Chains A and B, each alone.
Chain A
Amino acid sequence: MPFLHPNRRTLLGGLAVLLTLPRAALSQEQLNVVATTGMIADATRQVGGDRVRVRALMGPGVDPHAYRQTRSDIAATAGSDLVLWHGLYLEAQLEEFLADMTRSRAVVAVANTLPREVLIAHDDYADRFDPHVWMVPHIWALVVDAVRDALIAADPDGAETYTANAAVHQTEIAALAAYATQTLATVPAAARVLVTAHDAFNYFGNAYGFDVVGIQGISTNSEAGVQRITELVDMLVSRQIGAVFVESSVSDRAMRALIEGAGAQGHEVTIGGTLFSDAMGEDGSYEGTYVGMIDHNVTTITRALGGTVADRGMQGRLAA
């Protein structure tokens, strides 16, 4: 820059050094991670700590079976270093998008790493599995490990931090698993039927000894017909089921029709509560974390079906 005054040159040079200082001072920069579901985002935050900046594509109340990427999603993903998604065909409408993203960054399906023995086969499709693995803490623990491994692979420098954080989070999850087992055991045998909007609770049912019945199938993209409603009404009446559950991310119209149908046969059914099936609660709230989500589900189910449980859940932190 021949025309610049020598003093200005010095000033500019000084500024340049100054600007690089903070970068040099931070011995690491944050890993930019995009997660599809809120649950994965939560796990990533717990394991990643300060080393990661996480963005969840799907917020509270969003249905992952039907979700399609928006333009801002594409932009966020393009600027990310690592994409963590669930797999097991949960994000049915995002497969193509994620395949595209694989070309220029690490994309890991964290639930795909689960051993086949823990998975439940899909009712309708031969090679597919029920994706709702987060519903049972000790299975989700395996996914948390997969998240940890993905973070380590993307950012080897942070291996120690990630391992330590993961261990802490695993302790929380173990406590949650114990709480769930104990609490749900208090529900009387006759009342152990969980009726929900879609088949999101198969793992739950298997693990804790509940019959689970969803109006829709494993994916909310399947259409429920009136015949299904009629079937379920008959079941509600014959098994004298008193409470059913709506889900935060699925329309509750079919459930209300079910209740009306049972009412027409003289059998009163109430809504036992709202469960977090495919998405967590409000961002920033206790229910907006994985632990809070499961805590809420377990507590709500137990209370509605006649079991014994503290009003505000495992740690007394549930919303009143």
Chain B
Amino acid sequence: MSAFWQALTFQAGYNATLVTLGAVLLGFAAGAVGSFMVLRKRALVSDAMAHATLPGVGLAFILMVALGGEGRNLAGLLAGSAITAGLGLLCVDWITRHTRLAEDAAIGAVLSVFFGIGIVILTMIQTMDGGRQAGLEGFLLGSTAGMLYADALVIAGGGALAVLAVWLLRRPMTMVAFDAGFAQAMGINVRRIDLAMMGLVMGVTVIGLKIVGLILIVALLIIPAVTARFWTERSGAMLWIAGALGALAGYLGAVLSTIAPAMPTGPIIVLIAAGLFLFSLLFAPLRGVAAAVIRHQRFQARVHRRQGLLALARLEPIHDPLTLRTLRRAGLIRADGVATDAGRAEAARAARDERRWDMARFAHQDTALTGRYDGLTPIDAVFTRDQIAGFDRLIGPPQGVQS
């Protein structure tokens, strides 16, 4: 346990701290950038781009070795990955525009073809004599054991730039995601904004190759964003909540992977992100499943109570077991189904409310107000006392409910 605490407070050693910091920064950038991608409904294009980085990494390695240099120069490898990722994006774009294929088919095609080419290139590299293997398979799922200070700098710098760009472009990106036609008419170049958004995704993918690898980076882009959706109804907040969730997943995942023997960092981070998603799905107060269930129960209770009371007022027999249970629990009927005094009073009130609504709909002109009748809203929440008094005059004196 103390090892865990040490890791949490960045005291578990230089290497562990490096990995944790990198993961936090990457998680934040991925969450923020991924939000717009999810809002724009282009989440899987990022998967195509991530898989398209593989041939670029391999080709960059071969090129650097052929030029006599060190095949494992990270900057060179990442530059290669960015180039083929960009190429992949352009392919998806081109296929969607110029053929009859839908976007998901284009994504699938580009993803598998580029990835396949990448694997072939990796196989070729394993038989190459010159140049040490740069540990290129480590880019598939991440390899944090070999994380250097220079790598952390790349991630920090790239991540910061990405977040800055997101913040600068948040308004046009929001408008394009919400209503691209309107944005275009406003003079926003939708195509350029889309390319910028995908460029940011590519940037995050490239800097994330080291920690989570190309297969899982799409998870880090998407999961925090959809998790954030459960916690807010405003796109601006969603952006930063997603970043925070991504950073949290990066933090906890990295910490866990640094204290346990031989745990791969990338998959652990994604699992933590998925855990946060599951928790939010169930327990988020606004849109979570638990909240929805509770809301539904409460609503059901209100409906049954109202219906029960109205039935009592009209001296109709009540058969529905849930209605009976609700009324009994509220002390409005006795165990045998007969109304109590409180029940009779409540029933009379409910009946009068109902009569007032009838009169309001008949007599009052403003449909904005009368349109608010839904069987549950009490009339004094909508009309003024004078208006209600007016209805009362038309209805007559209140009637009690006979026992």
A residues bordering B, Cβ < 8 Å? 58-63, 66-68, 70, 215, 222-230, 233-234, 248-254, 256-258, 260-261, 264-265, 282-283
From B123, B131, B145, B149, give the contact of A224 (CB < 8 A): B145
Docked CA distance A233–B12 (Å): 11
Given contacts A62-B126, A261-B14, are A249 and B258 in contact (CB under 8 A)? no
Residues of A near B138 (CB, < 8 A) are: 251, 253
Residues of A near B145 (CB, < 8 A) are: 215, 223-226, 228-229, 253-254, 257
> How does the 8 Å CB contact mask read for B1-22 relative to A, with 1 for contact and 0 for none?
0000000000011111001000
Binds A, one of B95-103, B259-267, B309-317, B349-357: B259-267
> How does the 8 Å CB contact mask read for B128-168 relative to A, with 1 for contact and 0 for none?
11111111011000011111110000000000000000000
Docked CA distance A156–B261 (Å): 52
Docked CA distance A225–B329 (Å): 59
Given contacts A66-B126, A251-B138, are A260 and B258 in contact (CB under 8 A)? no
Given contacts A233-B15, A253-B72, are A225 and B129 in contact (CB under 8 A)? no
Further contacts, 19 of them, CB under 8 A, given A59-B129, A251-B146, A283-B129: A61-B128, A63-B126, A223-B143, A224-B145, A225-B257, A225-B260, A225-B264, A227-B16, A228-B261, A250-B132, A251-B72, A251-B132, A254-B145, A256-B146, A260-B14, A260-B148, A261-B13, A261-B14, A261-B15
Assess whether B72 is in contact with A226, with CB atoms less than 8 Å apart.
no
Chain B residue with Cβ nearest A60: B129
Assess whether A223 is in contact with B264, with CB atoms less than 8 Å apart.
yes
15 pairs, CB–CB < 8 Å, chain A vs chain B:
A61-B128, A61-B131, A61-B133, A62-B126, A66-B126, A67-B126, A223-B143, A223-B264, A226-B144, A226-B258, A227-B258, A229-B145, A230-B258, A252-B132, A253-B138
Docked CA distance A261–B149 (Å): 10
Docked CA distance A58–B123 (Å): 13
Assess whether A250 is in contact with B15, with CB atoms less than 8 Å apart.
no
Assess whether A61 is in contact with B129, with CB atoms less than 8 Å apart.
yes
Name, among A225, A226, A260, the residue most crowded by chain B CB atoms within 10 Å (CB to CB).
A226
Chain B residue with Cβ nearest A279: B129
Docked CA distance A252–B260 (Å): 22
Tell me the count of chain B residues lying within 8 A, CB to CB, of chain A: 36
Given contacts A225-B262, A251-B138, A253-B148, are A230 and B16 in contact (CB under 8 A)? yes
Chain A CB within 8 A of B403 CB:
no
Chain A residue with Cβ nearest B260: A227
Assess whether B13 is in contact with A230, with CB atoms less than 8 Å apart.
yes
Q: Whole-angstrom distance from the CB of A70 to the nearest CB of chain B?
A: 6
Docked CA distance A251–B147 (Å): 12
Chain A CB within 8 A of B367 CB:
no
From A222, A234, A249, give the contact of B133 (CB < 8 A): A249
Chain A CB within 8 A of B127 CB:
yes
Q: Whole-angstrom distance from the CB of B29 to the nearest CB of chain A?
A: 21
Q: Whole-angstrom distance from the CB of A36 to the nearest CB of chain B?
A: 13
Docked CA distance A233–B263 (Å): 18
Residues of A near B15 (CB, < 8 A) are: 226, 229-230, 233, 257-258, 260-261
Assess whether B258 is in contact with A225, with CB atoms less than 8 Å apart.
yes
B residues bordering A, Cβ < 8 Å? 12-16, 19, 72, 123, 126-135, 137-138, 143-149, 257-265
Docked CA distance A265–B145 (Å): 18
Q: Whole-angstrom distance from the CB of A115 to the nearest CB of chain B?
A: 32
Residues of A near B147 (CB, < 8 A) are: 226, 257
Docked CA distance A253–B15 (Å): 12
Residues of B near A283 (CB, < 8 A) are: 129
* A-B residue pair count with CB separations less than 8 angstroms: 115
Chain B residue with Cβ nearest A66: B126
Q: Whole-angstrom distance from the CB of A313 to the nearest CB of chain B?
A: 22
Assess whether A250 is in contact with B133, with CB atoms less than 8 Å apart.
yes
Residues of A near B134 (CB, < 8 A) are: 251, 253
Assess whether A225 is in contact with B263, with CB atoms less than 8 Å apart.
yes
From A63, A68, A226, A261, give the contact of B257 (CB < 8 A): A226
Residues of B near A66 (CB, < 8 A) are: 126, 137
Name, among B14, B144, B258, B261, the residue most crowded by chain A CB atoms within 10 Å (CB to CB).
B14
Residues of B near A68 (CB, < 8 A) are: 123, 126
Chain B residue with Cβ nearest A221: B137
Docked CA distance A223–B144 (Å): 10
From B143, B259, B264, give the contact of A253 (CB < 8 A): B143
Assess whether A257 is in contact with B72, with CB atoms less than 8 Å apart.
no
Name, among B16, B123, B127, B134, the residue most crowded by chain A CB atoms within 10 Å (CB to CB).
B127
Residues of A near B16 (CB, < 8 A) are: 226-227, 230
Chain A residue with Cβ nearest B14: A264
Assess whether A226 is in contact with B265, with CB atoms less than 8 Å apart.
yes
Q: Whole-angstrom distance from the CB of B13 to the nearest CB of chain A?
A: 4
Assess whether A230 is in contact with B12, with CB atoms less than 8 Å apart.
yes
Residues of A near B127 (CB, < 8 A) are: 58-59, 62, 67, 70
Docked CA distance A5–B72 (Å): 68
Docked CA distance A229–B13 (Å): 9
Docked CA distance A225–B257 (Å): 7
Q: Whole-angstrom distance from the CB of A94 to the nearest CB of chain B?
A: 12
Residues of A near B149 (CB, < 8 A) are: 260
Docked CA distance A222–B19 (Å): 19
Residues of A near B148 (CB, < 8 A) are: 253, 256-257, 260
Q: Whole-angstrom distance from the CB of A223 to the nearest CB of chain B?
A: 5
The 3 closest A-B pairs by CB, nearest first: A253-B146, A251-B135, A264-B14
Chain A residue with Cβ nearest B145: A224
Q: Whole-angstrom distance from the CB of A137 to the nearest CB of chain B?
A: 25
Residues of B near A261 (CB, < 8 A) are: 13-15
Docked CA distance A225–B123 (Å): 25
Docked CA distance A226–B13 (Å): 10
Docked CA distance A226–B19 (Å): 8
From A60, A223, A256, give the contact of B262 (CB < 8 A): A223
Docked CA distance A59–B124 (Å): 13
From B72, B128, B137, B261, give the contact of A225 (CB < 8 A): B261
Residues of A near B126 (CB, < 8 A) are: 62-63, 66-68
Q: Whole-angstrom distance from the CB of A188 to the nearest CB of chain B?
A: 28
